[in-house]
Structure 1
Amino acid sequence: MDWKNMQVPERYKLGEAITGPFAAHLVALSGFSTADGSSELDVLDNACGTGVVTFQLYEHAPAIARARMSVVCADLSPLMVENVAARIAANGWVGATAQVADAQSLSVTLPTDDFTHVLTNFAACHLPDPRAGFREAFRVLRPGGTLAFTVWKAVGWYPHTARALALIPGAPALPPYADFVGSMVTATESGEGEKRKWVDPAFIEARVREAGFTEVATVLRENATRMAGAAEHAQAYSEITKLMLSMMWGDKVKEFGAQFEGALERAVREEVGDGEVVLKWEAYCVIAKKA
């Protein structure tokens, strides 16, 4: 993906209707919704993207807790960071800052034993080296600190996209979702087959423990999104879906991109006719402690 493309942050922000509810789950699971202001909350919104986790923090943490809360929004993409910095200013999120940082090598910019919480929404297992990301999260957390992150189990756009691509002559077939995730991972310790395991909660929990964490637990959460009909769905989802596909296929997406919205509308209409389009989303929310 071209992280220098100005359209990337805007297209990602459109996806917050999908990712936002799961970010809210992370915030609640980590205790922010009931925080009483008795202790400092120093949060790293790691691989922050458009800042959806930070948005949920400032929405759901009580005012008494926000008074003692600081948030560092960190992302590898300078454009994402610029976008989040503007969002911080526009919303008046006191205590929040944004900076460029690679989740796999936070030591370049962030100190050891510094944060009470490291939160990541749908990026931890999409890194080229997820193990390095877990190790770095462990390093920057204080003893007793909390790691929490989300991992997709079921992605709502995937089945319709597979059918749409099948309608476009010459377009590649969409692989199983585990292969899509695996295409982003480059570092393995047990061969290429390991890449497909980054959607398996038991495998992921084991890797979190390897990084030094304890009290590792996973809960499953689900959500549904609705569009009035096939045309509305295709218009809303075609660009963000192509963006996701470019993470796997790069510029090859341009070869069929112009036909994708029409094919997506046709594929959806063949399934639901003129009715409402309902997409189901499921994600694992993983939480762990640094002893």
Structure 2
Amino acid sequence: MSATDAAFKGSIPTVYEQYLGPLLFEPFAEDLARRLTDVPQGRILETAAGTGIVTRALAKTLQGQVEITATDLNQAMLDLAQSRLEAPNVRWLQADAQSLPFEDASFDAVVCQFGVMFFPDKLSGYREALRVLKPGGRFLFNVWNSLDLNPVSRVVSETAAKAFPDDPPRFIERVPFGYFDPDRIRGEVQQAGFENVEIDVVDKVSRAPSPREPAVGLCQGTPLRAEIEARAPERLEEITARAVEALSGRFGASSFENRMSALVVTAWR
């Protein structure tokens, strides 16, 4: 991974929340929250909580007796998340998912949305999830499916790459869309100590108000921005405009359907 691959700072959290939250993440957050409705009480840990999109879905969907601890490595993301949700059963804590500050067998479930792809050491993250789970608890996480099955993200990734033919930025395909092999995922989760692992393909459709929203969100609200600015900071707006044009050419200049595909992994302790 590049040093900038997990850099969610500056204006990135705000752009991420505004432009990518409804478009990419909320539909899958609702799916994860629904999968935990059979937890009537106890403690749930969220790792890589980002701006709190899953946290809000959990707080809305689950009963108030469930205590939710939402963690993220990036304090800037947590600051924004905390400003969006005040709930008596939710607490926020900066923490590294690969080295969690919790006792063994502390939680009934661990949930992580589109976060494990950012773990430099995925096995450590999986082992930590196993360690803090109570017997019978589950580790629930999702990852993006192939970039070919997520055409909006693919168009933006290809546009950014074409803008720098001698040194293409590859963040989108390398990190968020670089971990979609179910056999590899199952093998690594089992290697970490989980025996019962289920993987589902989940497809969702959201609606982009226009091509501008995904272009701004992906170019300026993810670490792709750092890759662009490392090459030519003065070209950020130009490349965002190119992404708008490319998306318009593919989907039209007005509102359009954003089709997405992800894998949802459930591993039981």
**CA 1:176/1:98 → structure 2, altered by over 3 Å: closer, same or farther?**
closer
- Does the aligned pair in 2 maintain the 1:20–1:53 contact within 8 Å? yes
Partner of 1:16: 21
1:240 to 209, 215, 218: 218
Measure the CA separation in 2 of the matches of 1:112 and 1:77: 24
For the pair shown, the structure with the greater C-alpha radius of gyration is 1
Partner of 1:267: 246
Measure the CA separation in 1 of the matches of 2:252 and 2:85: 42
SS of 2:267's equivalent in the other structure is: strand
Partner of 2:205: 224
Partner of 1:127: 119
**CA 1:131/1:264 → structure 2, altered by over 3 Å: closer, same or farther?**
same
1:94 to 73, 82, 88: 88
Q: CA deviation at 1:8?
A: 2.4
1:26 to 18, 29, 32: 32
**CA 1:143/1:278 → structure 2, altered by over 3 Å: closer, same or farther?**
same
- Does the aligned pair in 2 maintain the 1:74–1:99 contact within 8 Å? yes
| 2:82 pairs with 1:85 | yes
Measure the CA separation in 2 of the matches of 1:158 and 1:124: 18
**CA 1:6/1:69 → structure 2, altered by over 3 Å: closer, same or farther?**
same
Measure the CA separation in 1 of the matches of 2:242 and 2:228: 18
- The one-letter code matched in structure 1 to 2:192 is A
SS of 1:157's equivalent in the other structure is: helix
**CA 1:269/1:79 → structure 2, altered by over 3 Å: closer, same or farther?**
closer
**1:272-283 superposed matches below 5 A:** 272-274=251-253, 276-283=255-262
Q: CA deviation at 1:249?
A: 6.3
Q: Which runs of 5+ in 2 are unaligned?
A: none
Partner of 1:289: 268
**CA 1:116/1:253 → structure 2, altered by over 3 Å: closer, same or farther?**
farther
RMSD: 2.7
**CA 1:174/1:42 → structure 2, altered by over 3 Å: closer, same or farther?**
same
TM-score under structure 2 length normalisation? 0.84
Partner of 2:46: 45
- Does the aligned pair in 2 maintain the 1:235–1:261 contact within 8 Å? no
- Does the aligned pair in 2 maintain the 1:25–1:285 contact within 8 Å? no
Q: CA deviation at 1:97?
A: 0.5
Q: Report % sequence identity.
A: 23
- Does the aligned pair in 2 maintain the 1:157–1:241 contact within 8 Å? no
